Structure 1
Amino acid sequence: MSIKPEIVERAEQPYAAVRGTVTLETFGEIADRLPELIGTLTHRGVELAGAPFFRYTLIDMQAQLEVEAGVPVAAVVPGEGDIVGDVLPAGRYVSLTHVGHPDELLEVTRQLREWAADEGLTWDMTDTDRGERWGCRLEILKTDPAVEPDMGKWETELAFRLA
């Protein structure tokens, strides 16, 4: 598999999300909250402004992941219940769109990180005793599973912020 990432400028983006701490095995606990989040926001009259995403804030692949399941919105929304409103930071991001099963994303991410190291790029990421703390690391879900049930055809954009 040959990857072709690009460096893009992203503007700041308001979003709403639910947060969770999961493992690779329990990731569905946060992923399965996206439809509920979107439904709640729509019911509240919030204008959605893009594809849903997962934002990884703390990663220890052997232990746990702190993740947000979110969706871009037109304007910052006040938090309510376990829904938080926040803003994705502007900046330079390495972007790569993968077409294929979500299970392939671990390997695609490994290749993306290897490519960035070869290019001398530095992530907006800090190593901590609990894992990697990311300024902004996104998996943007470009495919609606209700429209395309074949997971092998799903498009996922990886967007990792550079330092």
Structure 2
Amino acid sequence: MDLELERRTGLPEHLRVLADLYPRETWQGHRNFSGLTAFWLERHLMFRELMARLVEGAERHLDAADPRFAAEMSRTTGFFLNQLHGHHMIEDQHYFPQFIPLDARLEPAFELLDRDHHALDGHIHGLAERSNDVLKLMAAGEDEKKAVDLLAATQRDFRSFLHRHLEDEEEIIVPVVLEYGADME
């Protein structure tokens, strides 16, 4: 199985050490499921929703020019990318280091998440650049249709990568919290 974020279709069996013991539908009812874990999952939901809003905005603008598109896309993209980058920094510097020692079998899973974060950094920069290109064309009054079409494709790809990463990350982290009563503080 290819473990690269852009080609992965899910966690391979050898990284599902705890995921199969704790199916997603049992998480919230578990005694070790905390408010902070719920908050962390809500942040992931926010990233999914923001990405959907960006894709829908670009597609809507392509169908019929939306005068609010540039301002909304700029504001939402900036917020999304800044929040996602900060979220990954907290995970890399705080959460992951405290979870890794809890179960040595999961060390390769955390290495996978670290590789995902590095891959996503590149995609974050690419999405920012593509968004800025569109804004520059629009500010100059040039025809931005081709650029917006490329932006929408970039956004859809990013949404796909992000979805894969968030799903896999949740299936690694939440079961660790549930199994070991790990604190996400």
* Fold equivalence (TM over 0.5): no
> RCO (CA 8 Å, sep 6+): is it higher in 1 or 2?
2
TM-score (norm 2): 0.26
Question: Greater CA radius of gyration, 1 or 2?
Answer: 2
> Could you say which structure has the higher strand fraction?
1
> Could you say which structure has the higher helix fraction?
2
